[in-house]
Amino acid sequence: MKKALLPFAIAVVLVYSLLPFLWFVLASWKSPAQLTAIPPEIVPAFHWGFYRSALTTYGLPGYIRNSVIVATATTVVSVAIGTLAAYALTRFHFAWLRFYLVVLLCVSMFPQIAVAGPVWRILDALGWLNSYQGIVVAYISFSLPLAIWILATFFKELPYEIEEAALIDGCSRPQALRRVVLPLAAPGIFTAAILVFIYAWNEFFFALIVLTSPALQTLPVGIALFPGEYTMPWGELAAASTIATLPLIALTLFFQRRIIGGLSAGAVKG
């Protein structure tokens, strides 16, 4: 019985997972008439007008550029700081470090509204509202728990004896880090980088409140605030969404093993 159900279950899961977004993506290539047709036409007319329009009139390139800058800067700094912190947390066992890990976990669970007002005021006081550095610094802080969590799980897997062997073999601690620990932690660092990048690329709440001018806004803000009150430019929106999402989907599919490993790491693994 199970054998017969299997293809059915597979079909259901595939349709459920893929159909909505596929439908949206197809819309980006439909002709304007096809967009609003009833019954809906499945095969698009491969009309590229929406893409052209999205890229020229709706400021998409700017949003993409801002997202790339913000996400990349966040990832690089967050992973660097996180690696140091995770290394210390797993190598030096002191009571206050455990406490810190607990605090990190708690902090990552606050809904954004719990801190939004004061964060806005801090950035305002620094003169960093509506700036790259303001949003990046905020993102770094918010992504650190995630980065440290994933990196700590990977560092835990590295037997300490290998570092001790390096110390005996003649390395100073920084040398041991460089020659032995980092190469072995590289997969973990890479996974953490991917997940932080995805977080920063997708983040909306703080981008919305911090980045107020279109020149600096990231993709999520651009897509959420897509102009149109009575008639939505669905074609352009679908095109913009497709452009915004395809890199992420490619990233996710390419590195799905790492991502799945990173997400479930430490959580359930015995």
Partner 1 sequence: MKRSERAALWFVLPSVFLVGLFSIYPILESARLSFYRMILMLPWLGEKFVGLENYRDLATDPVALDSLAVTLVFVGVSAALEVLAGLGMALLLNESFRARGLVRAAVLVPWAIPTVVSSQMWRYLFNDRYGLFNFLLFGRATERYLAPLADARLAPAAIVFADVWKTSSFAALIILAGLQTIPDELYEAAAVDGATAWQKFRRVTLPLLKPALLLALLFRTIDAFKVFDLVFVMTQGGPADATNVLQFYGYKKIFAEGMIGYGSAISVGVFCFSLVLSFFYIRLIVARVLEKGTAR
Partner 2 sequence: MASLAVKNLSKSFGAGRIIDDLSFEVADGEFCVLLGPSGCGKTTLLRVVAGLEEASAGTIAIGGRRVDALAPRDRDVAFVFQTYALYPHLTVAENLAFSLKVRGVARAEVRRRVEGTAKILGLESLLSRKPRELSGGQRQRVAVGRAIIRQPKVFLFDEPLSNLDAALRAEMRLELARLHRRLAATMLYVTHDQAEAMTLADKIVVLDQGRIQQIGAPAEIYHAPANVFVAAFVGSPRMNLVEGSIGAEGIFIGEDCRFDLTGRGAELNRFAEETLTAGIRPEDFRIAERGAAAIDGKIDVVEDMGSDKFVHVNSAGRRWVARIAPEARLKPGDPLRLTAAPDRIHLFFRDRRIG
* Residues between 133 and 172 with contacts to partner 1, criterion CB under 8 A: 137-138, 140-142, 144-145, 148, 152-153, 155-161
Q: Which of partner 2, partner 1, none does 167 bind, CB closer than 5 to 8 A by kind?
A: partner 2
Site residue total, partner 1 (CB under 8 A): 110
* CA gyration radius, the chain: 23
Q: Enumerate residues 37-76 that contact partner 2 by CB under 8 A.
A: none
How wide is the angle at C-alpha 76 spanned by C-alphas 71 and 79, nearest 5°? 110
Least Å distance, CB 186 to partner 2, is 9
Q: How many helices (H) and strands (E) does the chain have?
A: 14, 0
Q: How many angstroms separate the CA atoms of 62 and 162, rounded?
A: 47
Q: How many angstroms separate the CA atoms of 86 and 150, rounded?
A: 9
How wide is the angle at C-alpha 261 spanned by C-alphas 256 and 262, nearest 5°? 100
Q: How many angstroms separate the CA atoms of 255 and 35, rounded?
A: 34
- Which one among 93, 168, 183, 213 touches partner 1, defined by CB under 8 A? 93
The total number of residues written for the chain in this structure: 270
Q: Enumerate residues 131-160 that contact partner 2 by CB under 8 A.
A: 159
Least Å distance, CB 17 to partner 1, is 5
Q: Which of partner 2, partner 1, none does 174 bind, CB closer than 5 to 8 A by kind?
A: none
Least Å distance, CB 88 to partner 2, is 18
Where does this chain bind partner 2 (CB under 8 A)? Answer: 159, 161-162, 164-172, 175, 179-180, 183-184
